[in-house]
Structure 1
């Protein structure tokens, strides 16, 4: 009996000592991972803000392919929520409690565990990176483990913070891939023959290598914009580029950057910015939605359409591209719209859009 008493006494000491140890052990945690994305903050934020998008990049799907998601009526913005059921990951819910568009998202997450419900804070931060056009994205979770959770964590083979940090790192890698896909998506539509109405436009002209057009068009448009601002001239349409002469053999081009205006503008002698008038023209219209680097694909489809339909290009007129929306107002290049007009010779106006 004395031995049993001693054993019970020792067990009591162990239990008390363990209670003191785990009770005084700091259970607070703040675990995050950070990655620099080659993308604007708005594009990344627009993906993260909607819980429905998380299925495509969430790292937990790799742990349980049979995880079931249940979405509330509202899945983005303050008050948005969703829940999940998983035999592997456990059940839980998440709710968005605060958003600062393109900068911050704060959320509450609740895990339903055998040890009871566990609530923590999730946070997202979208900050400008040192390199222009890139964004530093931070995804983290902070909270405090309960007494039982501290005991449970102490007997796990893997450290809680290490596992969580690795999971967030994988999630950020997946998210980066999804964002990249969304930014590189493009479509080409050959709209068919149309009649472009023409009109007055301000312009400047240069020659360059074909590979340098992208580098030169920005400063040229900037010069036009500054001139029009200084002279109180309003845009009467979206900016466009006119291709006067293309030498594919030597890889050179002569082109103009242009902005439509409502009426003729008399410019001073020696001005680098001039005014001209484009006559109405019959043309094949092709629309690219996506990055400008995909223009070659759009031109290839336009040329194939001309060939297939035996349509002759008008050699006396210059082809041109209209930039139907402003890249400065649309951060995702997949949504940039470029309209290509190739002047054509048509026997009649039938079939024109």
Structure 2
């Protein structure tokens, strides 16, 4: 009995001491998990800023504890504030911070919080919300790294060769932006054009396309129009930021890019190589056109985007070399043959 009594008192003393330590322990915590991703910072930021991409990187989607993105806000192209709801009653505030690191982007997932008595106790044995968040942040960043380095960097380019482009009527909305912002602008502008056609009961005549008007290499910006082809010319009311247009037939070299739009420069390089081989040069009379078969509005997976790139061309005119002019000396006297 005395031994049992001593054991009971020791256990009671341990519980009381542990409780005092837990109560007096600071319950504040900070969780920071970081990863280096070999993808440009702008690409990472634009991907994370899209709410619909949350399901791809959500570390809770295959666990009993469900995590829902309630709200997020982007700041200065280098941080994103989030509110995540765990299950149905636990909101946590997190921040994603991005920084350039040589050829990589360093991304950190950060949160701060306060532990309850239970959480403090579980923390002693490496359990509880703090440790769960650390594990899940690690999983989420690994998911992000996988999707960006495989999905976004996976692409294919096919040179389709010389093609003819027929007369096309279309409606268009012009815009100017950085090249990397083009997919997001397409996503914003395209529904506006589709709505106008729906309201006016006009029929489309093919896939949407982009017309390139000019490029500012110093500012790295492009001026372009997102357009939808129509069966007939559409009359647009004055004052609208949407315009009607028409292009005459032209000839072009076409390439099909399957994958993220960021790889267009590789496709254009192959087109110009094909043009050189076939003695073709870019025509200044017509604009470069990209036909959008699949993009961010139709497929979440960037590796499934399909774009047809058309660069207007004309045959290179052969250089005709002029024959040297032969000058005849009219003062010369022809000698008569001597008769013997």
Q: TM-score, normalised by structure 1?
A: 0.52
Distance 2:217 2:16 in 1: 81
Distance 1:219 1:164 in 2: 37
Distance 1:192 1:294 in 2: 17
Structure 1 pair 173–10 and aligned structure 2 pair: CA distance change class (3 A): same
1:313 correspondence with 2:278: no
Structure 1 pair 43–196 and aligned structure 2 pair: CA distance change class (3 A): farther
Q: For residues 317-347 of structure 1, what are the alpha-carbon distances to aligned partners after superposition, in whole Å with 9 as ceiling and x for unaligned?
A: 4321111125233334444332111133469
Distance 1:130 1:249 in 2: 30
Distance 1:318 1:198 in 2: 14
Distance 2:5 2:236 in 1: 101
Distance 1:327 1:194 in 2: 28
Q: What is the match of residue 229 of structure 2?
A: 260
TM-fit CA distance, 1:222: 6.1
How many residue pairs get matched? 257
Structure 1 residue matching 2:66: 3-state secondary structure = strand
| Higher radius of gyration, 1 or 2 | 2
Q: What is the match of residue 70 of structure 2?
A: 127
Q: Which blocks of at least 5 consecutive residues in structure 1 are unaligned?
A: 23-32, 49-53, 55-103, 108-120, 143-152, 348-353
Of residues 319, 337, 343 in structure 1, which corresponds to 2:312? 343
Q: What is the match of residue 322 of structure 1?
A: 291
Matches within 5 A, 1:25-104: 38-46=48-56
Asked if the contact 1:323–1:339 (Cα under 8 Å) also holds between the matched residues in 2, the reply is yes
Q: Which blocks of at least 5 consecutive residues in structure 2 are unaligned?
A: 19-30, 34-44, 89-119, 317-340
Distance 2:274 2:282 in 1: 12
Structure 1 pair 213–346 and aligned structure 2 pair: CA distance change class (3 A): farther
Distance 2:228 2:189 in 1: 11
Q: What is the match of residue 181 of structure 1?
A: 149
Of residues 191, 205, 210 in structure 2, which corresponds to 1:241? 210
TM-fit CA distance, 1:189: 0.4
Asked if the contact 2:70–2:85 (Cα under 8 Å) also holds between the matched residues in 1, the reply is no
Distance 1:327 1:304 in 2: 29
Distance 1:127 1:306 in 2: 51
Distance 2:85 2:203 in 1: 44
Structure 2 residue matching 1:305: 3-state secondary structure = helix
Distance 1:213 1:18 in 2: 61
Asked if the contact 1:126–1:135 (Cα under 8 Å) also holds between the matched residues in 2, the reply is no
Q: Which moved more, 1:245-254 or 1:320-329?
A: 245-254
Asked if the contact 1:207–1:252 (Cα under 8 Å) also holds between the matched residues in 2, the reply is no
Q: What is the RMSD of the two structures over their aligned residues, measured on CA atoms?
A: 5.1
Structure 2 residue matching 1:234: 3-state secondary structure = coil
1:160 correspondence with 2:156: no
Q: What is the match of residue 304 of structure 1?
A: 273
Distance 1:339 1:273 in 2: 23
Q: What is the match of residue 10 of structure 1?
A: 6
Q: For residues 246-282 of structure 1, what are the alpha-carbon distances to aligned partners after superposition, in whole Å with 9 as ceiling and x for unaligned?
A: 6869988775442111234455688762242442x44
Q: TM-score, normalised by structure 2?
A: 0.54
1:273 correspondence with 2:243: yes
Q: What is the match of residue 97 of structure 1?
A: none
